[in-house]
Amino acid sequence: MTKLHRLSSRLLGLLLAFGLIATASAQMTINGAGATFPYPIYSKWFDEYAKVDPSVRFNYQSIGSGGGQKQITAQTVDFGASDGPMSDENLSKAPGKILHIPTVAGADVVAYNLPGNPALKLDADAIAGIFLGQIKKWNDPKILALNPGVNLPDQEIVVVHRSDGSGTTYIWTDYLSKISPEWKSKVGTNTSVNWPTGIGGKGNEGVAGQIKQTPGALGYVELIYAIQNKMPYADVKNVSGKFVKPSLESITAAMATAQIPDDFRFSITNAPGDSAYPISGATWLLVYEQQKDSAKGKKLVEFLKWAQKDGEKMAKDLDYAPLPNALQAQVLKRIDEIKF
Amino acid sequence: MPAIATMPVKERSAPARMAPPSRFGDKTFEWLTLGMALVVILLVFLIGWQLARGSSLAIQKFGFNFLVTSTWDPVTEQFGALPFIYGTLVSSLLALLIAVPLSIATAVYLTELAPLWIRQPIVSLIEMLAAIPSVILGLWGIFVMVPWLRDYLFPLLKRAFGWTPFFTGPIYGPSMLAGGIIVAIMILPIITSVSREILRSVPNLQREAAYALGATRWEVTRIAVLSYAKKGLFGAVILGLGRALGETMAVTMVIGNTPQIAASLFKPGYTLASVIANEFTEATTDVYLQALFELGLVLFGVTILVNLLAQLLLKTMTAKSATRAAE
């Protein structure tokens, strides 16, 4: 045997040994896929949960809400994740009953680029008018009336929206459909729509980039994104007539006052309550009520409970709004109904 | 390809002088290469078939209208691909208009005129341009190129050519023209390096003969080099066009992503590849998803059609020059 041969056979032995160790301590892997918006907090949860229960490992692919809904329906993953609730049509395609487990919430903010970036206030009429292409200039009487004392230029408003399908757009169009009958009939609610006006940017970074680079631009981005990129954003008048600054507290407030149906397929846009920010939305985990694999089902339920109890406490550090206490208790009760 | 046509005949007959040949190796080699070639062809058919299968519902529902209507509304599930087809073709054409003269001029400079010591550094730089990931180029597009275009080049174009329908209307920045320019930057390296290889393969005898006839440097380049390499250069352009049609990330960052057909190049547009990349992940209904699949099929078809047209153009071009030579 030459030296090289001996070396390679030794290497082979080493590899085999490693392989054996790896199979000996095989963990259970729970697979999930879906929404990109909650990906940062989910991966934090999975990381932390590995310390709580080392025998289970989570693998989450942030492929988008559409993909998450499709994969849970096709049962190729153990749980799905979506920024919008599943439609009745899509739910009926699933082989079993799918539960919606709300986890955290976020908001869309109206970001803009004006000389000096003054603080702005907007209401439903103004926002709908701008996005329908009816309010074209910054010094439009409607905007001026909301912002007395602010020097608004005689400049065209360059509307920027998301071009990629996203939960952010779902929340945005859901809000517009609720406050403007014209928007509802002309455009509607979806993850991507047929925009009456404006230019499309890909992703939060694309929209933020266009707004930052275009004088006179206005568009919507996720609150987290606006905070982290220090973009100016407007206070929005809610249905109670109060101007509310988008913040984690005002999102949680919206969840506390919004109507929550029994299946948790709720929408918290335009929620009542003095401190509710009106353009907010939650994100959900999708799981089957009847788990196929009982061992996996048990671990999944344990994790879901941990996420509601302990995971929620990490939300604020990552700029996500946690669920209000009352809703959390309801959700925990629902998790108990999962059979495995 | 001229590169093959000019290969000396001697090299090919060289193996004849070697030891008695074994037919087995030759046969295996032949079958092996045939198999590989068939796999490539099969792959093309499989892709086409899979796309058609994936979009069968949409094809049934919209039929031919899919290709000629302009509404793209995921809410009411009305889908028409015309603005995307238009955007793909126009942005690619713009890219070619910008990139082809630049690339071929660069290739001519590098092979015919540049001092030897400068050639390698320039070639390396151009190849580095090809190595920039398209998403990086797209971000650079948003943050550097588009603001510059909006503040300097576009107003200039508007002042000079505002009387044509192509440079009218408000200037936002993200636009069909910005999309064309970013694609041009992306296809520059491939057209340049392929063109350079082709020009290098022009035999020196050609040049020497032209010089001997008293031709100037420009005449030598035009008559002896460019006209000789015409066919190959055309091939280089087609390679670039292929890339341009399918370019996605960088384009979607700067084109404005608005499905409309407008004469003005300052207006935003949308391409087939961009809309697929943008909307595929969140498409939840069957018809929506299938319509996106059908866009893929259309892009596939457009690419093949454009390539066929180019081949046809090349044939008529060479046939014409052949008859001219015969006269």
Give A124-182 pLDDT, tens digit per residue: 999 999 999 999 999 999 999 999 989 899 999 999 999 988 889 999 999 999 999 99
For residue A87, pLDDT beyond 80: yes
Beta strands in chain A (DSSP E): 28-34, 56-61, 79-82, 98-112, 121-122, 158-162, 199-201, 217-222, 235-237, 243-244, 280-288, 321-322
For residue A23, pLDDT beyond 50: no
**Inter-chain contact B284–A156, Cβ cutoff 8 Å?**
no
Q: CB-based contact (8 Å) between A25 and chain B?
A: no
Percent of chain A with pLDDT over 90: 72
Name the amino acid, one letter, at B168.
T
pLDDT in tens, A259-284: 889 899 999 999 998 999 999 999 99
Question: Which position has the higher pLDDT, A26 or B103?
Answer: B103
Q: CB-based contact (8 Å) between A216 and chain B?
A: no
Mean pLDDT of B10-18: 52
Q: CB-based contact (8 Å) between A265 and chain B?
A: no
Instruction: List all residues 6 or more positions away from A56 whose beta carbon is below 8 Å from its beta carbon.
Output: A27, A28, A29, A30, A49, A299, A303
Cβ-based contacts of B280 with chain A (< 8 Å): 66, 165
Cβ-based contacts of B252 with chain A (< 8 Å): 163, 202, 206
Measured in whole angstroms, the distance separating CA A30 from the mean position of its chain's CA atoms is 21
pLDDT in tens, A234-248: 999 999 999 999 999
For residue A14, pLDDT beyond 60: no
Cβ atoms < 10 Å from Cβ of B301: 14
pLDDT score recorded for residue B321? 67
pLDDT score recorded for residue A228? 84
* CA–CA distances in Å: residue A312 to residues A47, A267, A287, B16: 14, 20, 19, 79
Confidence band (pLDDT; 50, 70, 90) for A24? very low
pLDDT score recorded for residue A12? 54
**Inter-chain contact B285–A90, Cβ cutoff 8 Å?**
yes
Cα–Cα distance measured from residue B109 to residue B91, given in angstroms and rounded to the nearest whole number: 27
Cβ-based contacts of B142 with chain A (< 8 Å): 201, 206, 209-210, 213
Domain range summary for chain B, segments of one domain joined by +:
57-326
Cα–Cα distance measured from residue B130 to residue B193, given in angstroms and rounded to the nearest whole number: 10
**Are the CB atoms for A282 and A324 separated by under 8 Å?**
no
**Inter-chain contact A192–B282, Cβ cutoff 8 Å?**
yes
Cα–Cα distance measured from residue B110 to residue B196, given in angstroms and rounded to the nearest whole number: 7
Q: How far is B100 from chain A (nearest CA, A)?
A: 29
Percent of chain B with pLDDT over 70: 91
The pair of three-digit structure tokens given for residue B6, joined into one six-digit string: 């000019």
The pair of three-digit structure tokens given for residue A72, joined into one six-digit string: 């849970």
Cβ atoms < 10 Å from Cβ of B36: 9
Confidence band (pLDDT; 50, 70, 90) for B25? confident
Instruction: List all residues 6 or more positions away from B119 whose beta carbon is below 8 Å from its beta carbon.
Output: B110
Rg (CA), chain B: 24
Q: In a mutagenesis test of the B interface, which of A202, A204, A212 is the best target, namely the one with the most B β-carbons within 10 Å?
A: A202
pLDDT score recorded for residue A196? 94
**Inter-chain contact A165–B268, Cβ cutoff 8 Å?**
no
pLDDT score recorded for residue B4? 46
- Please name the member of B72, B278, B280 whose beta carbon is closest to the beta carbon of A202: B278
Q: Which H, E and C letters describe chain B, residue by residue?
A: CHHHHCCCHHHHHHHHHCCCCCHHHHHHHHHHHHHHHHHHHHHHHHHHHHHHHHCHHHHHHHCCHHHHCCCEECCCCEECCHHHHHHHHHHHHHHHHHHHHHHHHHHHHHHHHCCHHHHHHHHHHHHHHHHCCHHHHHHHHHHHHHHHHHHHHHHHHHHHHCCCHHHCCCCCCCCHHHHHHHHHHHHHHHHHHHHHHHHHCCCHHHHHHHHHCCCCHHHHHHHHHHCCCHHHHHHHHHHHHHHHHHCCHHHHHHCCCCCCCCCCCCCCCCCHHHHHHHHHHHCCCHHHHHHHHHHHHHHHHHHHHHHHHHHHHHHHHHHHHHHHHHC
pLDDT score recorded for residue B15? 52
Name the amino acid, one letter, at A130.
I
Q: CB-based contact (8 Å) between A283 and chain B?
A: no
Residue of A nearest to B79 (CA): A194
Length of chain A: 340
Mean pLDDT of B49-72: 92
Cα–Cα distance measured from residue A315 to residue B240, given in angstroms and rounded to the nearest whole number: 48
For residue B64, pLDDT beyond 50: yes
pLDDT score recorded for residue A11? 55
Q: How far is B70 from chain A (nearest CA, A)?
A: 11
Percent of chain B with pLDDT over 90: 65
Residue of A nearest to B276 (CA): A164
Burial of A217 (0-12, 13-18, 19+ CB in 10 A): buried
pLDDT score recorded for residue A84? 86
pTM comes to 0.83
Cβ atoms < 10 Å from Cβ of B199: 23
For residue A296, pLDDT beyond 70: yes
| Helix (H), strand (E) counts: chain A | 13, 12
Burial of A126 (0-12, 13-18, 19+ CB in 10 A): buried
Cβ-based contacts of B72 with chain A (< 8 Å): 194
pLDDT in tens, B157-181: 999 998 999 998 888 889 999 999 9
Q: CB-based contact (8 Å) between A201 and chain B?
A: yes
For chain B, the first-to-last Cα distance in angstroms comes to 25
pLDDT score recorded for residue A9? 58
Q: CB-based contact (8 Å) between A43 and chain B?
A: no
**Are the CB atoms for A277 and A246 separated by under 8 Å?**
yes
- Please name the member of B73, B147, B174 whose beta carbon is closest to the beta carbon of A194: B73
Burial of B40 (0-12, 13-18, 19+ CB in 10 A): exposed
| Fold adopted by B57-326 | MetI-like fold (1.10.3720)
The pair of three-digit structure tokens given for residue A306, joined into one six-digit string: 């941990």
**Are the CB atoms for B88 and B271 separated by under 8 Å?**
yes
Strands A121-122 and A235-237, sheet pairing: parallel
